[in-house]
Structure 1
Amino acid sequence: MAKSFPYYLANRAVQANEDLEVLDKHTGEVAYRVAQAGDAEVDHAITAAVEARDGMAELPSYRRRDVLRHCVRRFRERQDELVEVLIVEGGKVIRDAKGEVGRLIETFEIAAEEATRIGGEVMPMDIAERAEAFWGLWKRVPVGPVSFITPFNFPYNLAAHKIAPAIAAGCPFILKPAEKTPVGALLIGEILAECDLPEGAFSILPVDRDEAARFTDDDRLKLLSFTGSDKVGWMLKERAGKKPVVMELGGNAACLVDADADIDDAVDRLVFGAFYQSGQSCISVQRVQVHEAIYDQLKDRLVEKVGALKKGDPRDPETFVGPLITEDDARRVVEWIGEAVEQGARCLVGGERDGPVVTPAVLEGVDHDCRVYDEEVFGPVLVLEPFSDFEAALDVINASRYGLQAGLFLRDIGKIHRAWNRLDVGGVIINDIPAFRVDHMPYGGVKDSGLGREGIRFAIEDMTEIRMLAVKDVGI
Structure 2
Amino acid sequence: MLKKSYPYYLANRPVPANTDLEVRDKYSGKRATRVAMADAATVRKAIVAAHKARGAMAAMPPHARRDVLEHCATRFEARQEELAIALCIEAGKPIRDARGEVTRLIETFRIAAGEATRIGGEVLELAISARTEDYRGMTRRVPIGVCSFITPFNFPLNLVAHKVAPAIAAGCPFVLKPAAKTPIGALIIAEVLAETDLPKGAFSVMPCSNADAAQLVEDERIALLSFTGGLVGWELKARAGRKKVTLELGGNAACIVDADPGASLDHVVERLVSGAYYQSGQSCISVQRILVHADVHDRLRRKLKAAVARLRTGDPREETTFIGPMIDEDAAKRVERWITAARKAGAKVLAGGPRDGNMLPAALLEKVPHDADLYRREAFGPVAMIEPFDDFDAAIATVNDSDFGLQAGVFTARLDHAMRAWDRLEVGGVVVGDVPSVRVDNMPYGGVKQSGLGREGVRCAIEDMTEPRLLVIRDPLRK
TM-score range, shorter chain: over 0.9
Structure 2 unmatched runs, 5+ = none
Match of 2:52 in 1: 51
- Give the CA deviation at 1:351: 4.1
- Give the CA deviation at 1:369: 0.6
Deviation track 1:103-159 (CA, whole Å, cap 9, x = no partner) reads 000000000000000010111111111111011110000000110000000000000
Aligned equivalents of 1:77, 1:9: Cα separation in 2? 25
User: Which structure 2 residues correspond to residues 287-366 of structure 1 after superposition, within 5 A?
Assistant: 287-366=289-368
Aligned equivalents of 2:394, 2:131: Cα separation in 1? 55
Match of 2:237 in 1: 237
- Give the CA deviation at 1:475: 4.6
Aligned equivalents of 1:148, 1:276: Cα separation in 2? 25
Match of 1:267 in 2: 269
**Contact in 1 for aligned 2:396/2:425 (Cα 8 Å):** yes
Aligned equivalents of 1:304, 1:294: Cα separation in 2? 16
Query: Could you tell me the percent identity over the aligned residues?
Result: 59
Q: What count of residue pairs does the alignment treat as equivalent?
A: 475
Where 2:295 maps in the other structure, the secondary structure is coil
**Contact in 1 for aligned 2:69/2:112 (Cα 8 Å):** yes
TM-score by length of structure 2 reads 0.98
Amino acid at match of 2:160: A
User: Which structure 2 residues correspond to residues 88-107 of structure 1 after superposition, within 5 A?
Assistant: 88-107=89-108
**Contact in 2 for aligned 1:337/1:351 (Cα 8 Å):** no
Deviation track 1:252-308 (CA, whole Å, cap 9, x = no partner) reads 100000111121111000001000100000100000000011111001100101101
Where 2:346 maps in the other structure, the secondary structure is coil
Where 1:471 maps in the other structure, the secondary structure is strand
**Contact in 1 for aligned 2:271/2:434 (Cα 8 Å):** yes
Amino acid at match of 2:235: M
- Give the CA deviation at 1:318: 1.2
User: Which structure 2 residues correspond to residues 326-475 of structure 1 after superposition, within 5 A?
Assistant: 326-475=328-477
- Give the CA deviation at 1:57: 0.2
Aligned equivalents of 1:218, 1:107: Cα separation in 2? 29
Mapped pair 1:5 → 2:10: no
User: Which structure 2 residues correspond to residues 65-214 of structure 1 after superposition, within 5 A?
Assistant: 65-214=66-215
Amino acid at match of 2:74: R
- Give the CA deviation at 1:431: 1.0
Deviation track 1:337-360 (CA, whole Å, cap 9, x = no partner) reads 000000010001104201111110
Structure 1 unmatched runs, 5+ = none
Q: Structure 1 stretch 132-141 or stretch 348-357: which is displaced more? A: 348-357
Match of 2:252 in 1: 252
- Give the CA deviation at 1:181: 0.3
**Contact in 2 for aligned 1:92/1:322 (Cα 8 Å):** yes
User: Which structure 2 residues correspond to residues 3-42 of structure 1 after superposition, within 5 A?
Assistant: 3-42=4-43
Amino acid at match of 1:329: A
Amino acid at match of 2:93: K
Amino acid at match of 2:327: I
Aligned equivalents of 1:129, 1:16: Cα separation in 2? 66
**Contact in 2 for aligned 1:334/1:351 (Cα 8 Å):** no
Deviation track 1:447-474 (CA, whole Å, cap 9, x = no partner) reads 0000000000000000000000000014
Deviation track 1:74-111 (CA, whole Å, cap 9, x = no partner) reads 00001110001000001011111001001000000000
Aligned equivalents of 2:299, 2:100: Cα separation in 1? 31
Where 1:211 maps in the other structure, the secondary structure is coil
Amino acid at match of 1:295: H
Match of 2:225 in 1: 224
Aligned equivalents of 1:433, 1:273: Cα separation in 2? 6
Amino acid at match of 1:200: G
Where 1:357 maps in the other structure, the secondary structure is coil
- Give the CA deviation at 1:312: 2.1
Aligned equivalents of 2:450, 2:164: Cα separation in 1? 24
Aligned equivalents of 1:3, 1:435: Cα separation in 2? 35
**Contact in 1 for aligned 2:277/2:286 (Cα 8 Å):** yes
Aligned equivalents of 2:353, 2:451: Cα separation in 1? 26
Segments ≥4 residues shifted beyond 3 Å: none
